[in-house]
Amino acid sequence: MKRQPLDDSFKINRTPVTLREIVLDKLRSAIMNFQLLPGDRLVERDLCERLGVSRTSVREALRHLESEGLVEFDGGKGPRVAIITLEDARDIYELRCVLEGLIVQLFTLNSEPGDILALERALEKNRKVLESGDLQEVLESVQGFYDVLMEGAGNRIAAVQLRQLQARISYLRATTVSQVNRRATSNQEMERIVAAIRSGDPIAAHQASVDHVRAAAKVALDYLKSQGDEDDTSREVVAPIFQKDPRVKE
């Protein structure tokens, strides 16, 4: 067999990470890891000095984080870490319940054997990370699990809607997995989701997803209430949308 010359198609094309992306990642991680707390002022000059970058890079990153809901511009006082109120969190969990329940149900109906295998691998990785990983590793692992679900569900619009909430979901998730015993319980709930998917029961899978979100919501909302959130009202922590599907037998 005659050897063929190596042409340009053999070259690996790499897209270098831009400075803006690095700054964005640093600031996002600082918020997720609670190095920057809700309400903290984000003074551009100070951030430039600490990061060693230009004001343009910082400003662009702050605007992007504003679009993710992690930063807010408070009138003439400038940017600050966004404050997710109790009411905001309830709204996010209600929407998360609907979107994730739908995606899990569609995954059960539409996924291929390879998708289920990928989900099982993501679950196993998540179990190991939950046992010994740091907070950032946990957030990335859980996101990897949901990435498999969104890919296999086959509904691009639902996935886009869920990803638009992702930064705030991750922030609330960080508050829950930081609580005592929540990590082990969370993995058990995700195991229920996978078991229902594996059995081919979309209703049971949907209910397992709803139960998982409800449990996470309770931990997060209890935490926010303990912080003395001034927006606390008499509205139930678990909204009607979280109630058990009447088609599912006890």
> Do the Cβ atoms of 137 and 129 come closer than 8 Å?
yes
pLDDT at 234: 40
% of the chain beyond a pLDDT of 90: 50
Tokens in use for 33? 């890891």
Taking only the tens place, the pLDDT of each residue in 98-128 is 999 999 999 999 999 999 999 999 999 999 9
pLDDT at 236: 45
Rounded distance between C-alpha atoms, residue 199 and residue 193, angstroms: 10
Can you give the residue ranges of every domain in the chain? 15-81, 86-242
Q: What is the pLDDT of residue 8?
A: 54
Q: Higher model confidence: residue 247 or residue 33?
A: 33
- Map 112-128 to HEC letters: CHHHHHHHHHHHHHHHH
| Res 247: pLDDT | 42
Most confident of 21-25, 66-70, 104-108, 170-174: 104-108
Architecture of the CATH domain 15-81: Orthogonal Bundle (1.10)
- How far apart (Å, rounded) are the C-alpha atoms in residues 149 and 103? 7
**Nearby residues of 225 by Cβ (< 8 Å), 6 or more positions away:** 86, 232
- pLDDT surpasses 60 at 195: yes
pTM: 0.77
For the chain, what percentages of helix, strand and coil (3-state, to nearest 5) are there?
A: 70, 5, 30
CATH code of domain 86-242? 1.20.120.530
Query: Cα 113–204–187 angle (5° rounding)?
Result: 75
The pair of structure tokens assigned to 113 is 């054997």
CA separation for the pair 101, 95 (Å, rounded): 10
Cα distance between residue 38 and residue 130, in whole Å: 25
